[in-house]
Amino acid sequence: MLRNGLEPWHLLVVAIVFIVLFGSRKLPDTARSLGRSLRILKSEAKAMKDESGTPATATPVDARVSP
């Protein structure tokens, strides 16, 4: 069924569909917005990864010394 996978003419058809749907004036704005969204997603995923890898430094309430 999908022996050849993605061929160059497939990409051409997709590009033409995008130009017809969004118009040539909106494509740069759409690409810019997509890039920003991907950067935000990447930074959030990195923050979650860093957050889960570090141990918790908060002291339990019972271990606090009262004055």
C-alpha of 63 from chain center? 41
Task: Flag whether 39 is in a domain.
Answer: yes
Q: Is the dihedral of CA 57, 60, 61, 66 positive or negative?
A: negative
Task: Flag whether 33 is in a domain.
Answer: yes
Task: Flag whether 1 is in a domain.
Answer: no
| Domain total of the chain | 1
Task: Flag whether 42 is in a domain.
Answer: yes
Domain that holds residue 30: 23-49
**So what's the pLDDT on residue 45?**
93
Task: Flag whether 30 is in a domain.
Answer: yes
Q: Is residue 50 a contact partner of residue 41, using CB atoms and an 8 Å limit?
A: no
Q: What is the pTM of this model?
A: 0.49
Task: Flag whether 37 is in a domain.
Answer: yes
9-65 pLDDT per residue, tens:
888 998 899 888 878 888 888 889 999 999 999 999 999 988 876 555 555 555 555
Task: Flag whether 6 is in a domain.
Answer: no
Could you tell me which residue, 8 or 57, shows the higher pLDDT?
8
